[in-house]
Amino acid sequence: MKKYKKIVSILPLAQGRFKVLYIFNLFIILCLFSRLVKLQVFNASDLQKKARLIQSSKTTSLKKRRSIVDRNNRLIAYDKILYKLWAHPKYFNFPSDAIQGVRSIEEVAKKLSPILDMKDEILLEKFNNKNSGIKLLDKISEEKAKKIKNLQISGLDLFKYSQRYYPQGELFSSLVGFVNDENKGSAGLELHLDNQIKVFNKSNLIIRGRDGTPLPDNSAPGDFISDYKSLVLTIDSKLQKASFNALSKQVSKWKAKKGFAIVMDVNNGQILSLVSVPSYDPNEFWQYDPELFKGWYSQDLFEPGSTFKPINLALALEEKVIQKDGLVEDSGEINVGGWTLSNWDKKGNGYIDYPKVLQVSSNVGMVKIMKNLDPIIYWDWLKSLGINKKLETDLYESTAGQLLRKDLFVNQSIEPAVASYGKGFSISPLKLVQLHAALANGGYEVTPHVTTTFKKRVNKDQKKQFFSREVSKTVLEWMESVVDKGSGSGAKIEGYRIAGKTGTSQKALNGSYTSKKVCSFVATLPVNDPKYVVLVVVDEPSKSYAYGSTVAVPIAKEIIESLIVIEKIPPKIKGNGMIVKKP
């Protein structure tokens, strides 16, 4: 039987129904359009901000500081990345838990204690019944922090920070200083060269795509590169340790207030070692007297005493008021302007040559020598040497020396007389080093410094010359006789030509001298090719028979012996290959 398809007639849409559909569609389009206008026009800036928050992450730079290393790249100071662990018990939740689940502090402590190497009970005590914001521990290593992160426990937050460490402890503290709890330089180079040590990394935004891939942005080249530069010192750690040990031993033996020792290259001013005793551990600076944080070798002044006699002899030679082969009568005492001045032992030495004046450290001989020099010229020389000026250096802020007013110096005969043997004016130990370096290098001014990047603001072609090369050579040879035959004989080392001068000066208080002493010794070596100057200053040794020869010379000898080994300084060899033995 044949089937027939049903034919349905198409009737036109009712006018009323068409209008309803039309109006409904128009309404939908208008709603969508108004929504689009609202998003694109009125909410555009807000949406852009939200998108940036989702797509970008802010990198906040740590307050980091550059490492400090010695000339051989041995670490002196560095930043170590550590973490602080905070807990919020009301949010404690393990990865497999339901979102609303909250774990107990006992459960969390059980997982944390093996990582932190702490007993559960000790860890639980730290919560103190608080619900949030509990600082559990700081100084957590990166290794432990990674293990804590891997636990994925909600409610535990790790805060990253950097802490300064000084692996060589008190050995460099008087020079390098330390940073405080806020990682700010508070003493020594850490303070004085703060801008060179701080790392100026800025915070940046990293733009990422949906899958986390970083997208191109406007970051400058190097914005996200770590700063691996170090502050390199001219110091040798081995020599620093040898100097520190030698100085500490003698300061303790003589029950002295403090001591200082320095080794410097006379040709360029580079400091190879600089130590001060007593010292402190910069890793625990808060446990020490703040007085120890001071760089007294550049900030405190002292009367150099007999260690200044070679400088005065150089001035006399420059002005030609004495001749190399001249003699002076040392009667043991001399009257100047109603004042009686005498030698340290009250004894005379008769007619002596100028090397002998240094060997026996004759005060009377020096007074008579410098009496030949016009006081006006003498004062001008002292000013020209920079006695009353600050040193331009990369160390602590230096203190300018004290020099009497010119009119007083010129019109009071006692002033140039006492200045002839290092009294009546004062300088820092660092200034004394600079002057003796000039005697050693042919008369030229060099500036003591400890960083390899230090550059003095003068043209090398215009370097100031204090003394002529001939005068410097003559005085250095006279100083050599002090080590060969005089008060510095304790520093003699077979095969090496060493020049030196001892000093023992009384300390002044309220305008009068006391029984307290400053014992010092300055040495230059090798005389045949001057390269190094060594200065030792020991303040207020409290035992009897404390002199430069007994207190400071033994320290200098130990330092020089270490210097010879470390710097591989060869002995003086005769033409026949034999080591020169001094007579």
Cis upstream peptide for 554 (omega within 30°): no
- Identify the H or E element spanning 141: none
CA dihedral 297, 299, 305, 309 (to 10 degrees): 80
b/e per residue, 499-535, with b = 16+ CB within 10 A? bbbbbbbeeeeeeeeeeebbbbbbbbbbbeebbbbbb
For the beta carbon of residue 215, count every other beta carbon within 10 angstroms: 10
Interior CA angle at 428 toward 427 and 429, to 5°?
Answer: 120
The 3-state secondary structure of 421-478, one letter per residue: CCCCCEECHHHHHHHHHHHHCCCECCCCECECCCCCCCCHHHCCECCCHHHHHHHHHH
CA dihedral 396, 542, 250, 483 (to 10 degrees): 90
Beta bridge partners of 126: none
Q: Which residue's structure tokens are 């020096």?
A: 366
Question: If DSSP codes are grouped into helix, strand and coil, which group holds residue 578?
Answer: coil
> CA 190, CA 68: separation in Å to the nearest integer?
9
Beta bridge partners of 78: 165
> CA 58, CA 123: separation in Å to the nearest integer?
33
Interior CA angle at 167 toward 165 and 170, to 5°?
Answer: 100
> CA 310, CA 471: separation in Å to the nearest integer?
11
- Tokens coding 177: 């200083």
For the beta carbon of residue 393, count every other beta carbon within 10 angstroms: 21
Is residue 276 annotated as part of the catalytic site, yes or no? no
> CA 516, CA 542: separation in Å to the nearest integer?
8
Interior CA angle at 565 toward 561 and 568, to 5°?
Answer: 125
Phi and psi at 240, nearest 5°, equal -60, -45
Phi and psi at 515, nearest 5°, equal -80, -5
Beta bridge partners of 538: 259, 519
- Yes or no: say if 561 and 237 are a contact pair by the CB < 8 Å rule: no
> CA 247, CA 263: separation in Å to the nearest integer?
13
Identified catalytic residue from 186, 306, 420, 549 = 306
Catalytic residue positions, numbered: 306
